[in-house]
């Protein structure tokens, strides 16, 4: 049993086709390894992965969804042992999420403070990690305390969506979303705007579905102006046209460029937020032909290339609703999406019933893989609490005591926030600290000081190249 990543260059004899890589393991089981859109006349890369649960000879097949010949070149297979995989992930996380920082303590006259003591306290971790939030948090202090003590970012599960804020035409109500935003702000929790529009048929408000093109366009523009103007500068991101690889509600009625135009309108109103293309299946399902990474890349490039969109702040949103995770495929897909050179977030991470009874184990694996990938800039779980039960994954019981999945999350939070709590400077007033990225209070004590000196510094990816000086005025 071992993880394996693979890559190959593909062409087809005519037109285009979705070509899939499928492994046959020694026990005769077929394992999906990935897919891409292949074309005639040019080469396309298929990069994927799988985990084999048996040892011995295996076979790799390429199959297309049309009547074409498949040309394959430069096939590579890279097997790993599990210790090798985990070590690579650990080293990658350390490089991406931590920096060795040189700290210098000097008195007001610039003279170093030899053998000074410095204590270090993390105020806010630099890597955004959060969860979905529900309106019940407004009335349950235990829920509020549990959430605020763990997470630095939130997505409202339903409360900001169109069907929640304008259930009846021209009757808007943002009361609940406003209250949730105030609660998040009170605790310094950043909020993702979820969502402006949703592109699947079954998620539309009932009064929207029968509108003709002219009235639909007017309603769409009103919705964008209303929600984005209200929360511009107050949210860090927008899921702009949710799931528009699987859905075509607006494109089918308003034309091929409907989504691109929506992004443009949102960007004009909110110039600070990241605009996410939020999609499921891309990271989770190697054979979801609608959402494979090559189609995701093509769609985002279409949005970016639309006239007037070149400079908008796009981002990749991967919902990450897993059953049994294919971790090597996950890593390969993140590698492929990194070519877009925009921020990547896992936006709705959970492990559903197909993963039972291994939900805590699978959840930890997914979160570790996301945290360890250098191009992932944040993660939000989709484990919003409801008294009647969570959508597919709960972290706590109804008294907000952790379930096993919640314990795994707490273990990761503690690990990702771990840092040295203090050190003694050398004779030159210098020390080096290996710190997770984030905002810190540094407190320096020295016999020459009347009282401890406290300075706040941010440690990030650039910090290793900088000498951080704490100047002490005496």
pLDDT of residue 58: 85
Chain centroid, CA 167 distance in Å: 29
Q: 153-156 and 467-472 as β-strands: parallel, antiparallel, unpaired?
A: unpaired
pLDDT of residue 474: 40
Active site residue 415: no
Active site residue 377: no
Pair 284, 247: CB distance under 8 Å: no
The DSSP secondary structure of 58-80, one letter per residue, reads: -EEEEEESSS--EEEEEEEEEE-
d(CA 363, CA 366): 5
- Residue in 243, 279, 285, 365 annotated catalytic: 243
For residue 60 the two structure tokens come to 């790799």
- Residue in 285, 348, 365, 377 annotated catalytic: 348
d(CA 373, CA 370): 5
- Domains of the chain (ranges; CATH) run 2-79 (2.60.120.260), 97-122+419-473 (2.60.40.1120), 127-407 (3.20.20.80)
d(CA 217, CA 197): 12
For residue 186 the two structure tokens come to 């009170």
Per-residue pLDDT tens digits of the chain, which is 474 residues long? 589 999 999 999 999 999 999 999 888 889 999 999 999 999 999 999 998 877 888 899 999 999 999 999 999 999 999 999 999 999 999 999 999 988 888 888 888 899 999 999 999 999 999 999 999 999 999 999 999 999 999 999 999 999 999 999 999 999 999 999 999 999 999 999 999 999 999 999 999 999 999 999 999 999 999 999 999 999 999 999 999 999 999 999 999 999 999 999 999 999 999 999 999 999 999 999 999 999 999 999 999 999 999 999 999 999 999 999 999 999 999 999 999 999 999 999 999 987 678 999 999 999 999 999 999 999 999 999 998 889 899 999 999 999 999 999 999 999 999 999 999 999 999 999 999 999 999 999 999 888 899 999 999 988 777 766 666 554
The DSSP secondary structure of 301-356, one letter per residue, reads: HHHHHSTT-TTS-EEEEE--EESS--HHHHHHHHHHHGGG-S-EEEEEEEE-GGGT
d(CA 421, CA 117): 11
Other C-beta atoms lying within 10 Å of the C-beta of residue 14: 12
Strand partners, 239: 194, 276
């Amino acid at each position: 049993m071992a993880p394996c990543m693979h890559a190959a260059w593909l062409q087809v004899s005519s037109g285009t086709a979705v070509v899939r890589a499928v492994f046959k393991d020694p026990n005769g089981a077929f394992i999906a390894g990935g897919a891409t859109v292949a074309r005639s006349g040019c080469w396309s890369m298929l990069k994927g992965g799988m985990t084999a649960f048996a040892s011995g000879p295996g076979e790799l097949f390429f199959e297309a969804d049309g009547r074409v010949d498949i040309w394959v070149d430069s096939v590579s297979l890279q097997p790993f042992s599990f210790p090798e995989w985990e070590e690579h992930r650990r080293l990658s996380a350390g490089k991406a999420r931590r920096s060795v920082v040189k700290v210098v303590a000097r008195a007001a006259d610039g003279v170093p403070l030899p053998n000074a003591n410095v204590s270090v306290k993390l105020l806010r971790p630099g890597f955004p990690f959060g969860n979905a939030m529900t309106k019940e948090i407004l009335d349950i202090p235990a829920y509020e305390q549990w959430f605020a003590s763990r997470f630095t970012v939130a997505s409202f599960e339903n409360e900001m969506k169109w069907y929640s804020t304008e259930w009846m035409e021209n009757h808007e109500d943002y009361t609940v979303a406003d209250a949730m935003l105030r609660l998040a702000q009170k605790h310094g929790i950043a909020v993702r705007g979820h969502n402006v529009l949703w592109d699947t048929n079954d998620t539309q408000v009932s009064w929207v579905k029968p509108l003709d093109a002219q009235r639909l366009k007017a309603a769409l523009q009103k919705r964008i102006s209303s929600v984005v103007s209200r929360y511009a500068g107050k949210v860090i991101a927008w899921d702009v046209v949710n799931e528009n690889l699987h859905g075509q509600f607006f494109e089918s009625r308003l034309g091929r460029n409907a989504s691109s135009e929506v992004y443009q309108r949102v960007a004009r109103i909110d110039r600070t937020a990241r605009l996410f293309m939020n999609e499921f299946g891309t990271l989770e399902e190697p054979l979801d032909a609608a959402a494979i990474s090559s189609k995701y890349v093509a769609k985002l490039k279409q949005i970016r290339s639309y006239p007037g969109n070149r400079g908008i702040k796009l981002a990749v949103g991967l919902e990450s609703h897993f059953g049994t995770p294919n971790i090597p495929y996950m890593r390969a897909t993140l590698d492929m999406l990194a070519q877009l050179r925009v921020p990547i977030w896992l936006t709705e991470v959970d492990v559903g019933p197909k993963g039972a009874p291994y939900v805590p184990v699978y959840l930890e694996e997914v979160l570790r893989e996301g945290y360890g990938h250098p191009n992932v800039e944040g993660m939000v779980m989709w484990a919003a609490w409801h008294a009647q039960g969570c959508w597919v994954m709960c972290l706590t019981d109804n008294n907000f005591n952790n379930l096993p999945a919640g314990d795994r999350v707490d273990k990761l939070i503690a690990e990702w926030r771990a840092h040295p709590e203090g050190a003694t400077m050398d004779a030159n007033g210098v020390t080096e600290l290996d710190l997770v990225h984030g905002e810190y209070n540094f407190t320096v004590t020295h016999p020459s000081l009347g009282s401890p000196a406290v300075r706040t510094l941010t440690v990030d990816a650039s910090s290793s190249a900088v000498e951080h000086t704490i100047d002490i005025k005496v």
